[in-house]
Structure 1
């Protein structure tokens, strides 16, 4: 296929889409069999193209065109109504404004079913204009009865023989007077307290100023706290606690060992006390020291030891024969206290 043919087809499709889009924005659908009807109005102030066409508030179409008659005596409004909508030929097209803030629309008013004699494309309907007051009355109609009831009750109350309304007004006047007195008291209180309020605000200003001046110190303190908490967080507390627990266990073992050692020492001291019981003379050592024969024997042993040491000092040659195995007879020392009769104990 040649490029010129492709360009021609693309241009034709674009034109068709453009026409269809333009009509669609105006509420028309050239590919459907909707009903296209006209309505004649004396004035259409506020009505725009694409405004809805409704039946009892339900949208059945849209305004597609607005144009004046050839003599400008009236305005012809073209409407596109959905296919299948049965509208009598004597129906009225009423221009209404459903809300104060909304735009105007066309409402189709009729009674009953049209049967087989219904409005077709190209037909014309008589148009009427509904004022804003009529729309407001339709909205306010349910409340009018209630307003009448309230007004009747007020009128009945004002004609009461007991003059209750006048008494109520007097009470209200008294309440208003009391409220006025109360407001005067509040004003006086505020005036008298204004100085205190000013002082309090001044103190508050000073406090905030001090806080502002100390902002650097507060920031530094917060940074230090943050550093401490970070160090505590990073520290291996579990390992430290385990080490401390192990140290405590070792200390407990040492304490238990000391307890055993002290217990043994106490037993030893008790045994020593039993051995050296000098007070009751029941101990072994006390018994030895208090035995007179034992004391005499000890004295004799000490005396003999002194004599032996004296003899070794005076005659050391005597003790050299111990190694040679030769025996030399003992020559007593002059005036030996052990030889009272001048004889050697070995000769006796």
Structure 2
């Protein structure tokens, strides 16, 4: 069967159109021969995400962004992307805009979640924007800037206080103090020199003193050894015997035995001693009042009249 020229021209035109459509789609990043699923995600700010940006799951590129359009008049953005892989995840999976590198642009990352219903082509997934490196640095620099400002204010206050303290009078006092300190340092150097000379002059005496101290230490060590060899047990027993004897003596005295015991316990002996003491006291008083009765001095002598009993002073 022969085709007419018109039919051949039509077939060629249709093929050209299809080839053009396929080539244009391919250049746009869409392969019409591959099966893919389409999903949507909403953002208030896409942070520089561009059309044809890669879509990844766990770092593997599985699709691309096909369009970014305004969702409404309030500035909301609707991102359409495709997933060419048959990987299954739920409709609660998070779609995150993240930086693929320091120099590279933004990408879409799907973080699978399996707690919800399996996702279907055309579903809208929840979206979120990951903070970039500059955003993180900026967030960290904010508190640091406040601390730097506070520190600078404190330093400025300290400098002002230091300037007020370091007035001309204080400077003069400081110079005088430094001069005095310099003189004191020279004086200490002179003392140190004199001490060195003194030590050099008495080096032999110091050596002899140290030797004597060494000998004394050895003697103390020998004395310590001698004390350690003393039979302390025998000394303790002797002391116990002495204490036992003392206890026996005290017991006998307490029982009225012996002269001391009788003196302490015998009331009759106590009364006799008290009477003798009173008579001795009366005799002393009479000797003081009538000394001529007891002492007589004469060149020719005198007949002894004998002893006369003294008068009772109580009468």
TM-score after normalising by structure 2: 0.39
TM-score after normalising by structure 1: 0.36
